[in-house]
Amino acid sequence: MAITAPKGTRDILPEESYRWIYLEEKIRKLCALYRYEEIRTPMFEKTELFVRGVGQETDIVQKEMYTFEHRDKESFSLKPEGTAAVVRAYGENKLYSQPQPVKLYYITPCFRAERPQKGRYRQFHQFGIEVLGTKSAGIDAEVIAVAARLFVLLQIKNIKLYINSVGCGKCRGDYYEKLKAFLFKNLDALCADCKKRYETNPMRILDCKEETCQKALQGAPFIVEYLCEECRQHFDEVKENLELMGVDYEINPRIVRGLDYYEKTAFEFVSEDIGAQGTVCGGGRYDGLSELIGGPPTPGIGFGLGLERLLMLTEDSLSVKKPPLNIYIASMGRQAEKKAQQFVEALRTAGISAEKDVMGRSLKAQMKYADKSEAENVLILGEEELKTGVAEIKNMQTGRQHSVNIETFEQFIADYKAGAEKG
């Protein structure tokens, strides 16, 4: 039996990879406009980073990480998300000594051993941005605006921004007591995971998608009603800045995100076009994360956005053509094939895409191949062309032909480039 790709992974074939390249270029240009710089962190990290940063009781750490032991028994895990690794790199590489804030972005593969479904894979790709070194509510709004602008650039419709404040350690204490008192009467109705969350982080029950838990939450208090003065003011400033930037939003008190490190601002972009699991982008503020993983006190905010889901949303609008084949050289005979090899490489060196036959096809078959490859031009070389020093090049769209002096092929290349630049 042939070996197949692991469950929950997929091959990105050339026809599709052009869309990925286009999307990544859009992302890089957008990040440059907002002055975000790229960071690349390892594909695996010490497991402790995610246990301490993401949270011991989260589904990611409990159920979804790919963890392995090295020969010296040290535990490593494939990266399940991007934020913790970036915050670790910020502290380890002393980026706090640079002018603040430090504005970073990444495009990286991540890994989670969750149940595969449409748009959700065990190896997936995440675009994320992280801003470290400022508590400004204005930067919260900017981070959200980057994602909103990307959706506009990609002409993605039917997507909504939901925002919330999940408070801080100061205001959560009273709220947890109120929420736990409310949930206690329906404790038996909660799923097994939420019964654990009841003891460790009851606010995360609000994020549970189980129907029984959602019913048990009807009438539950929300933290926006219990925010301390600092958190309330911060949330008001985030809303004000979003309005100044023209970013539409809706307050959703159930948005808490699934990771323990969030505080204050939390947000999600949700699509109406990809079914029940409609969250395309999510993020928030994590001012205490750096200290959790042993780094210096550092405020931060960011988001993660799944590229697979983004590409699903652009299936109809994002039509990308593969780069053109400028010139195909069809040859007949051994000497002509040698000359074709020389010419093809000269064209490529000059920045002109070129191909020649490598399958021993007949001239007729080569012309068919050139047509299927959507070659813009075909240059035909044979014994007669080598004798006379003159060959014909045919424009495959117009059918027009003109002569080329192959003895001065460098001049042809220069003339071709000049014509291409003029359009």
In this predicted structure, the answer to whether residue 304 has a pLDDT above a threshold of 80 is: yes
Most confident of 103-117, 181-195, 231-245: 231-245
Residue 193 is predicted with a pLDDT of 82
Choose between 94 and 195: higher pLDDT: 94
In this predicted structure, the answer to whether residue 184 has a pLDDT above a threshold of 90 is: no
Q: What percent of the chain has pLDDT over 70?
A: 97
Quick one: pLDDT band at residue 420, thresholds 50, 70, 90? confident
> How far are the Cα atoms of 37, 91, 234, 298 from residue 102, in angstroms, in the given order?
9, 12, 20, 11
Q: How is domain 14-168+228-313 classified at the CATH fold level? A: BirA Bifunctional Protein; domain 2 (3.30.930)
Quick one: pLDDT band at residue 254, thresholds 50, 70, 90? confident
Q: Tokens 């890994």 map to which residue?
A: 111
What DSSP assignment string belongs to 143-201?
HHHHHHHHHHHTT--SEEEEEEE---HHHHHHHHHHHHHHHHTTGGGS-HHHHHHHHH-
How many Å apart are CA 151 and CA 26, to the nearest integer?
A: 11
Q: What CATH number matches the domain at 325-416, 3.40.50.300, 3.40.50.800, 3.90.320.10, 3.90.1150.10?
A: 3.40.50.800
Quick one: pLDDT band at residue 275, thresholds 50, 70, 90? low
Which 3 state secondary structure label does DSSP give 48?
A: helix
Q: Tell me if the bond preceding 6 is cis, omega within 30° of 0.
A: no
Span 261-265, average pLDDT: 89
Quick one: pLDDT band at residue 366, thresholds 50, 70, 90? very high
70-128: pLDDT as tens digits: 888 899 999 999 999 999 999 999 999 999 999 999 999 999 987 877 767 899 999 99
Span 4-9, average pLDDT: 92
Quick one: pLDDT band at residue 311, thresholds 50, 70, 90? very high
- Bridge-based pairing of strands 250-251 and 159-165 is parallel
Span 144-158, average pLDDT: 95
Choose between 342 and 173: higher pLDDT: 342
> How far are the Cα atoms of 207, 210, 328, 367 from residue 256, in angstroms, in the given order?
6, 15, 57, 60
What DSSP assignment string belongs to 304-355?
EEEHHHHHHHTTTT---PPPPEEEEEEE-SHHHHHHHHHHHHHHHHTT--EE
In this predicted structure, the answer to whether residue 351 has a pLDDT above a threshold of 60 is: yes
Residue 227 is predicted with a pLDDT of 94
In this predicted structure, the answer to whether residue 57 has a pLDDT above a threshold of 70 is: no
Residue 243 is predicted with a pLDDT of 98
Q: How does the average pLDDT of the chain come out, rounded?
A: 91
**Are domains 14-168+228-313 and 325-416 of this chain identical in fold?**
no
Span 261-279, average pLDDT: 84
Residue 422 is predicted with a pLDDT of 63
In this predicted structure, the answer to whether residue 212 has a pLDDT above a threshold of 90 is: no
Q: What percent of the chain has pLDDT over 90?
A: 69
In this predicted structure, the answer to whether residue 61 has a pLDDT above a threshold of 80 is: no
How many Å apart are CA 40 and CA 154, to the nearest integer?
A: 24
Residue 189 is predicted with a pLDDT of 85
Angle between the N-to-C axes of helices 137-153 and 229-244, in degrees from 0 to 180, rounded to the nearest 10: 40
Residue 1 is predicted with a pLDDT of 81
Quick one: pLDDT band at residue 285, thresholds 50, 70, 90? very high
Domain boundaries, the chain: 14-168+228-313, 325-416
In this predicted structure, the answer to whether residue 239 has a pLDDT above a threshold of 90 is: yes
Residue 241 is predicted with a pLDDT of 98
In this predicted structure, the answer to whether residue 279 has a pLDDT above a threshold of 80 is: yes
* Of 243, 247, 264, the residue nearest 255 (C-alpha): 264
Residue 273 is predicted with a pLDDT of 79
Its pTM surpasses 0.85: yes
